Amino acid sequence: MKSSSPRPVRIVGARGLSGYVNLALSHQLQHDRLSGLLADLVQEHGPIDPQVMEEVRQEWHAPEEKTTSSATRG
């Protein structure tokens, strides 16, 4: 029977594992700060209107599409 537990990370080098952990911690701290900022903004201004969120989601990929279409018009 196969074990479902994750395999240990094997990183070798001058700062291999400690560098990996440092980067992961840095990303987590950045995520935590952004979450705090978002919570503060929601408290101060209220939640984002769902319709506005949907419009933003629709536009999110639009620059790629515009770049492609403008390149063909060139």
pTM exceeding the 0.95 threshold for the entire prediction: no
Report whether pLDDT(17) > 90. no
Residue type, 43: Q
Q: Which two tokens stand for residue 43?
A: 């408290």
Residue 4, pLDDT above cutoff 70: no
Query: d(Cα 44, Cα 36) in Å, to the nearest integer?
Result: 12
pLDDT tens sequence across 18-54: 888 889 999 999 999 999 999 999 999 999 999 999 9
Give the model's pLDDT for residue 20: 86
Does the pLDDT of residue 59 top 70, yes or no?
yes
- Could you tell me the residue ranges of all domains in the chain? 16-73
**Contact call for residues 57 and 48 (beta carbons, < 8 A):** no
Q: Which amino acid is at 42?
A: V
